[in-house]
Structure 1
């Protein structure tokens, strides 16, 4: 045990990376082969298919609406929820749709869509009748309305009126409010009180049982969309047909996602130019510009590209679905994924030439390995938290980002580092710096000292503290005041044809008719007066709710059946055929404890064309017993309601869990409690700033904003981890009079100088490249890309301010005794000084090389 503890005392994270770098430098070819093997996974992209689930993909898996949907599916005996395709019919001349010729055309189109329109799926011809189930005749009231209005128009003295919202025809109620919208009424006509109808809405409900049925219904819905578009474009047709459905929305989202490919190419081109330019400038600064710099620059840009293709290929190979949000991922990874490469290349150029390639690579990873590992690990954890969250579409996006960032880090180690090792062969051929290079170096060092001196002062600390209070106040205010609002219209492509029907549905259909389905999950004996009264009182309680339109608008099969049972006998209707099963029973008499009705005429009732739509609301089994009443509620848009209700608590929970994980990871890698606390508070500060100022940028809390918050938390680690890690370094190497010297960093200013020298330029490089990647999306003008552009812009602004200004100033005011505290000191009795010295034996292994040249350059 003592031997084990002795080994632990000699362990340090930086030393581990030093050994790892030396290992890569000795066998670079092996790591290049490993990279080539991983690159082969990109071939899986060949089978990539985009598929979205807009309807419930953003709803929590444990939400109340999902439980209600499960109960509804069990009630229907279905594997999926009822799926609805909505067709809106409008007159091209903006006239009323209740004109008889327009009504005739509308009915003709409904019959065609219901009975004749078909599509071929897997060699099978599929029409609406294939999967409509009990909903096949849900649009029959439009046919009856047309027939009744025609009869009344031709015979004005007929003893009925076709009134809105409920027409009373031969003892039956015809509900028109479910199909006619934008209706103006009056009493000028003896035929009907309707003066104007803006649109007719027809709902084609599907009773899908399996995934195969869902695919067939989706194909049919797309066929309806194409048919209605062609019909509307025909100038000879008087009507315009607009269609809206989940499959159509998903397809349009996918089409719009593919439009981002040119913008990705533009962003990649911008980033490519920036990488070559900035790395070239760094090489010029260090007087080491050779053709191998081009190889290094190309590798830097290749790393995020390979991470993206490997992620998409592997996801496809394992059967994961790719959604539209995943196509935002390449823009993020192209910017974020190159940050580690910038740090490694900057350390490679800054490193002295006295070592072998392996030792030099070891020193590079000793300096940057822990910090880039910390940022990658925390980024990955931030996205994994989102991946294990309760919403499916966000989980897919977060898993893709976590995988891509992981591959980006792996390729940095297995591809860039071996390339740096090979390119180091050319390092000794570096030319003597000219006067301009020397002047640039002197100016940069003077500027670095000036900035460090200002940030280390108490005056800067108090100014930044006051400014920070203002910033935090607005950030917290904006975050708290951000409203949770789910607007499907926002996520739709700006030029998609389904925007218009969606707005009409919101403006007219949902405003005038928004049905809620109440499910009685246990069968009842309607002949028992107590059970009968319990059910009726339950219905009446719903109808007394303030937002309920009342009993006249309730579609309740029992009321219609009771009227049929007591008023009209089965012999008065001849709508059922020979195969209709009739439940036989004796005539029910009004007895004590009995309601006076039973199920004996139910089969006849459901055979009526006016009443057979009630089959969709009944689960018939005459052998069931009758336990107590148990009810639940289901609504076709319940998923969206839950999304809106859960957004704020879900965002708060996700942010808290992510910050706690950031704290734990930073504690493992940074190891100094004070630095970890300041780093975590900085992450929280950046996140509050991003989210708060997004609200001032006219954004509301929705699933897309939630994704962007996760990005801001993960990306903010890049700014604080590098700064806090390098500020803890108490010694550095310098060449003084041609000799390698270890200099103690014993003042806050010296530590800030060393920190800014190592991280400022690569941090600026990385964040500027991120902006260049995403800025082309502004021209797309769609909501989802714009949210990410705004988020990343704020992350870059506030992150650079925290990482290079505020956090260094706060660290400079902390006493060195607190900064020197290390977890290893308490766990294994090892001080931070001994930890730094334990892996410095290799410093003296190789004699100095060309130190006079370095001295002149300095």
Structure 2
């Protein structure tokens, strides 16, 4: 009689029959199934000629729907800036090309503010200009951004206004009204508030010419060549970040080679044994090859259709190696559970019936996790999930074609009792001992089960780790051990929850370069000396206002005060044409509150904006045809941008302030494009987790048709996610687009570890909860170890990377795998042994065997004819093992 859906098998029984028939076809034509994936891979590899790396940091690591990008476009529309004629560093919408240098004293224990060291800065300026002109053929005067209608280069305020020996200085604004807060750092003050000494100086060169990038390279070369016993200089350019980020990819190539070697060794050794016929070292190597074919096919296909690659995606092959080798372990394990007396065709069919469904479910959960991960606003995450998801799909297809064909060919070798390495026919160990073969022969040559075509060895292959996990499970069943596990679990949840509350959000730009890079040194000094004053923020009033009206003037000044009253904006550091113009009018003897529009605008345009001192304000006003002021802006100075929370708080506070103004206004600085990641990363992560939990709940219900089982799996996923996010706080990892990738991985891998242990517990025929738990660990403990070890081994070289990006990938993936493994083999077994469902009744072995045989006969006579050859006791054991391993994978 056909079983009902409550028998836990209705969802996959058809797949099992389908894969068994498919496996028989593979066994009949193994070379075809091996050759086709190779040909497909070679064809798709042609797409690699279109391989293009995306290196633009803004595109990769900022939200696609970031508000800063919209505000930038609006600023560009209202006040377009021409870097070749009228450029102002504080008023730019798109950051122009630039080069910067930070000077510190040599030795570092001294200060920069003596005449000798300050003279070295001017000597450096002359050296750079001469050197770059010789190297590029274009002087700085040719490539520089210009102001005053293109009549002169934009000059760094420190170089333009400071003269060595003019002390003491007013800070952050000099007596001449020049803001130098971004030019000197590590300031020490006199009792009267003037500057006594400072530790660092920063100067900037702004560029506009098409040959600017060549000038930047020459600039960096000049900073390396500049020799001074008194100062140390480190340079940085607008292309440094992209170039150094690209060098990150080159830095992991040796690690990738190490990972490949380690994975090959692990795969070969894990499937090898002292039985030199049933040992499968070459098959292990082919399992790694199958994964490589999938990676090449995925990358070739996506690059052929124009999908950009990025350095972040460079970690994908290491991850796929672990996933692919894991699938290989499942299929080899299923082969070893088949009966040695059956034909190769039957054994491959049984293997595919047992393992292919497991591989299908595992690949499905991983693929779903990556598809869900693409629902994000961070292109770096989208690209990684797309490439990895497609690679998982190809890996799955090649496992059930290429590797299945290799398995069939290896099965023919095993059936002929040939050596796993030399392929020569050898004797089974029992026969070799009987014929008194030498010790070397018995140790390195003998094996197999056949001699002269007859089966002489019939025992099933049993891995020693099955016995270990049976003992381990019996120890977990002890009440004192359960108490210890539950207490440890409660402590883990508490510590993780506190870590979640303390997690830092966002990816700082200095995290994208290697630790030993010149760019890293530059960022370190910038953070050390130049975070007291942040970016200057444009405040734009996109509305026609009657600025000559006293009430409007009062209202606008009130808006400025609201800005300066926040903890993020400096008082009396605002750069506003209206403030200076009103003072100008008073100095000229005019009453600013008693002028007509014509008089107010006339003096503004003819006298104030033509004054050399105030000429820059032409960039802050947009006049209408009737001489009305259609739009204007002022600039505020932000304070203390030392942490990501301060940066996010500043941006959100200023946006909130202008949103409540009675006029249409917005705030913008180029840094906002990057700051937009801070408020976006948490909701995006929660969104992905929420969608994934809903999807995985459906998958869990299909895999384990028991409500309690599905609930346990979802709670396990939540627990692992909380642990990963919380514990990474203690490991100095931020919640950013890099760690978000691994949290997405966490969803799929959590199902791999948790669902199958739960499924095994549910289908176990043991009467007690402890018995069901021990049986589940005995069957699945070793596959969990293999899966965890293979994945960690694949990414372990990244732990020694000099890059935060790749170290973060290793750290978060290590937490994902480590916590998933502990949940699967320790926490879940204990919880299930306490609250899991018991078997309502236990049918007799004969009854179960009879019902199962009838069902299988109706569903597939070939399978039934094979199974009825077993004794009732042996048949029941085989059916139970097949049922559990249908869903077993890591």
TM-score range, shorter chain: 0.7 to 0.9
In the other structure, the counterpart of 2:654 is none
Deviations 1:290-320 (A, max 9, x none): 6xx3431121111222233233323322222
Contact 1:180–1:200 at 8 Å: present in 2 too?
Answer: yes
Look up the match of 2:201. 200
Q: 1:27 offset after TM fit, Å?
A: 4.3
State the alpha-carbon separation in 2 of the partners of residues 764 and 252 from structure 1.
37
Which of 364, 383, 404 is matched with 1:377 structurally?
364
Counterpart of 2:352?
365
Identify if the C-alpha distance between structure 1 residues 680 and 135 changes in structure 2 by more than 3 Å, giving closer, same or farther: farther
Measure, in 1, the Cα distance between the counterparts of 2:368 and 2:392: 10
Residues 463-498 of structure 1, C-alpha deviations (whole Å, 9 max, x = no match) = 644443333333333333434365444443110011
| Residue in 1 that maps onto 2:263 | 271
Distance 1:362 1:797, change over 3 A: same
Q: Deviations over 1:323-362 (max 9, x none)?
A: 2211122221222232111101111122114544444323
Tell me, in whole angstroms, the C-alpha distance in 2 between the residues paired with 1:387 and 1:261: 26
1:103 CA drift (Å)? 5.9
**Aligned-partner Cα distance in 2 for 1:819–1:694:** 46
* Residue 420 (structure 1) shift: 1.3
Q: Report the Cα offset of residue 275 of structure 1.
A: 0.9
Q: What does 1:20-169 correspond to in 2, within 5 Å?
A: 20-40=22-42, 41-55=44-58, 57-77=60-80, 81-83=94-96, 85=98, 87-90=100-103, 93=106, 95-96=112-113, 101-102=119-120, 104-105=122-123, 108=126, 127-129=143-145, 137-139=153-155, 141-142=157-158, 144-146=160-162, 149=163, 163-167=170-174
Map of 1:727-738 to 2, 5 A cutoff?
727=761
Q: Which range moves more in the overlay, 777-786 or 333-342? A: 777-786
Q: Residue 202 of structure 2 aligns to a residue in which SS?
A: strand
Residues 317-356 of structure 1 mapped to structure 2, 5 A cutoff: 317-356=304-343
CA contact 1:335–1:770 (8 Å) conserved in 2: yes
Which residue does the alignment assign to 1:554?
Answer: 574
For 1:793, the equivalent position in structure 2 comes to: 814
For each residue in 1:649-695, what CA deviation from the matched residue of structure 2 results, as whole angstroms up to 9, or x when unmatched? 33333322222222222323444433322222222233333333333
Query: 2:172 & 2:770 partners in 1: Cα distance?
Result: 79
Aligned partner of 1:579 in structure 2 is none
CA distance in 1, matches of 2:518, 2:158: 26
- Note the C-alpha offset of 1:178: 4.4
Q: 1:738 — aligned with what?
A: none
When residues 31 and 609 of structure 1 are mapped into structure 2, their CA distance, relative to the original with a 3 A threshold, is: farther
**1:517-542 Cα distance to aligned partner (Å, 9 max, x none):** 21222343434444444333322322
| 2:530 aligned with 1:500 | no
Structure 1 position 268, deviation (Å): 1.1
Is the CA contact 1:83–1:205 (under 8 Å) kept in the aligned structure 2? yes
What's 1:702 paired with?
736
**CA distance in structure 2 between the aligned counterparts of 1:89 and 1:276, rounded to whole angstroms:** 53
Q: Is residue 247 from structure 1 mapped to residue 264 from structure 2 by the alignment? A: no
Structure-2 change in CA distance of 1:445 and 1:353 (3 Å):
same
Secondary structure of the 1:224 match is helix
Kept in 2, the 8 Å contact 1:139–1:202? The answer is no
Q: Which deviates more, 91-100 or 507-516?
A: 91-100
* Matches of 1:667 and 1:800, distance apart in 2: 22
8 A Cα contact 2:728 2:811, kept in partner = yes
Please list every run of 5 or more consecutive structure 2 residues that lacks an aligned counterpart in the other structure. 82-91, 418-426, 434-442, 448-458, 632-661, 843-850, 879-890
Query: Given the superposition, is the C-alpha separation of residues 477 and 664 from structure 1 closer, same or farther in structure 2, using an over 3 Å criterion?
Result: same
- Residues 59 and 639 in structure 1, CA contact (< 8 A), matched pair in contact too: yes
Match of 1:316 among 290, 293, 303: 303
Q: What are the within-5 Å matches in structure 2 for residues 478-627 of structure 1?
A: 478-484=499-505, 486-551=507-572, 553-563=573-583, 591=594, 594=597, 597-598=600-601, 601-602=604-605, 606=609, 609-619=612-622, 622=625, 626=630
Of 743, 749, 763 in structure 1, the residue corresponding to residue 784 of structure 2 is 763
Deviation at 1:598, TM superposition (A): 0.7
User: Does the CA contact (< 8 Å) of 2:120 and 2:228 recur in 1?
Assistant: no
Q: 2:836 aligns with which of 774, 795, 814?
A: 814
User: CA–CA distance in 2 between the matches of 1:442 and 1:652?
Assistant: 41
2:504 pairs with 1:471? no
Q: 1:636-655 residue pairs with structure 2 within 5 A?
A: 636-655=670-689
- Residues 138 and 203, structure 1, Cα contact 8 Å, conserved in 2: no
Change (3 A) 1:784 1:104: closer
In the alignment, is the contact (CA less than 8 A) between 2:16 and 2:354 conserved in 1?
yes
Q: CA deviation at 1:632?
A: 0.7
Matched residue SS, 1:242: strand
1:840–1:229 distance in 2 versus 1, CA, 3 Å: same
The separation in 1 between residues aligned to 2:606 and 2:151, in whole angstroms, is 17
CA distance in structure 1 between the partners assigned to 2:326 and 2:841 by the alignment:
26
2:99–2:219: 8 Å Cα contact kept in structure 1? no
Give distance in 1, aligned partners of 2:22 and 2:93: 52
**1:684 correspondence with 2:702:** no
Deviates more, 1:523-532 or 1:295-304: 523-532
Between the aligned partners of 1:819 and 1:615, the Cα distance in structure 2 is: 88
1:261 aligns with 2:253: yes
CA contact (8 A) 2:132 2:218 kept: no
2:389, 2:841 → 1: CA distance?
32
Decide which moves more: 411-420 or 482-491: 482-491
- Partner in structure 2 of residue 584 of structure 1: none
Partners of 1:311 and 1:476 in 2: how far apart? Answer: 38
User: Which SS does the other structure have where 1:304 is aligned?
Assistant: helix
> Quick one: structure 1 residues 175 and 446, their matched pair in 2 at CA, closer, same or farther if it must change by over 3 Å?
closer
Instruction: Flag the 1:538–1:622 CA change in 2: closer, same or farther, 3 A.
Output: farther
The aligned counterpart of 1:13 is 15
In structure 2, do the counterparts of structure 1 residues 670 and 144 end up closer, same or farther at CA, with 3 Å as the change threshold? same
- Whether the 8 Å CA contact 1:58–1:393 is kept in 2: the answer is yes
Tell me how far apart the structure 2 counterparts of residues 666 and 595 of structure 1 sit (CA, whole Å).
75
Q: 1:444 to 1:318 in 2, by over 3 A?
A: closer
Deviation, structure 1 residue 276? 0.8
Distance change (3 Å), C-alpha of 1:788 and 1:360: same
Change (3 A) 1:167 1:487: closer
Q: What secondary structure sits across from 2:543 in the alignment?
A: coil
Q: Is the 8 A contact 1:116 1:127 kept in 2?
A: no
**Which SS does the other structure have where 1:542 is aligned?**
helix
Q: 1:713 to 1:439 in 2, by over 3 A?
A: closer
Counterpart position of 2:277:
288
SS in 1 for 2:709: helix
SS at match of 1:721: helix
Q: In the superposition, relative to structure 1, how do residues 197 and 839 fare at CA in structure 2: closer, same or farther (>3 Å)?
A: same
CA contact (8 A) 1:137 1:613 kept: no
Aligned in 2, Cα 1:42/1:599: closer, same or farther, shift over 3 Å? farther
Question: How far did residue 259 of structure 1 move?
Answer: 0.9
Native 8 Å contact 2:689 2:744 kept in 1: yes
Per-residue deviation at 1:775?
2.0
Q: Distance in 1 between matches of 2:277 and 2:604?
A: 95
Q: Displacement, 1:421?
A: 1.9
Match of 1:420 in 2: 407
Conserved? CA contact 2:24–2:345, under 8 Å: yes
Quote the RMSD (CA, aligned, Å): 4.5
